[in-house]
Chains A and B, each alone.
Chain A
Amino acid sequence: SYVLTQPPSVSVAPGKTARITCGGNNIGTKTVHWYQQKPVQAPVLVIYWDKDRPSGIPERFSGSNSGNTATLTISGVEAGDEADYYCQVWDSPTRAVFGGGTKLTV
């Protein structure tokens, strides 16, 4: 089955840019979705179709996907962005896969 690899943790100072990667074999040929999860809360979609933002998600959140790596970029990081972030793809029309998650520390 398809494997997505994320770094366990990323640290960034407030106001700086955080980049969270999601590695997978030819992931650039798939569409990637990203979720933010804060403690004791359900995940929230922050980027879909590689780079689109749902309504209500700040423009500071952006995404890209090429080759073997997809990237979630958070510009001007704020304390409230501290959370776990997960990438997700569909391995087939009926099977989803999540990355292992990345803890963002601000």
Chain B
Amino acid sequence: QVQLAQSGAEVQKPGASVKVSCKASGYTFTAYDINWVRQAAGQGLEWMGWLNTNSGNTAYAQKLQGRVSITRDTSINTAYLELSSLTYDDTAVYYCARASGSYYPFGSWGQGTLVTVSS
């Protein structure tokens, strides 16, 4: 069955960077896009960015431009989200989500990774 297994919780200081992984199994990794979505405590879902796992092409939410990077390693079926210059506002649960392509829904989600920014 389709699974997206994310890396464990992280605690980072303000100004630092964090890298979260999303390991796919149960399907052909390069046949589906990966998106990253985050959710601060008590808040709604915020789309962060998109990755075409086949080409490596990416797109990011405008508010995160310059701080966010999404990459992949097709040899181990894993996508990565890296966020730099962390602030307290980046404290959130980060999800990876799979889509069949542009305009498709997010049919499968990772379990979420809590990133806490704390001094």
Contacts and interface: CB of A to CB of B under 8 A. Distances in A.
Interface string A25-62: 00000010101010000111100110000100000000
Contacts of B46: 98
B95 A96 contact: no
B70 to A, nearest CB: 11
A80 interface: no
Contacts of A93: 102-103
A42 B96 CA distance: 10
A90 B103 contact: yes
Given A42-B112, A99-B44, A101-B45, A48 B105 contact: yes
B47 A97 contact: yes
Nearest to A37: B45
Contacts of B97: 43
Interface in B98-112: 102-107, 109-112
B54 to A, nearest CB: 14
B47 A98 contact: yes
B107 to A, nearest CB: 6
15 contacts: A35-B106, A42-B95, A43-B45, A43-B106, A45-B105, A86-B45, A88-B45, A93-B102, A94-B57, A94-B102, A95-B50, A95-B59, A98-B45, A100-B44, A101-B45
Interface of B: 35, 37, 44-47, 50, 57, 59, 61-62, 95, 97, 102-107, 109-112
Interface of A: 1, 31, 33, 35, 37, 42-45, 48-49, 54, 84, 86, 88, 90, 93-101
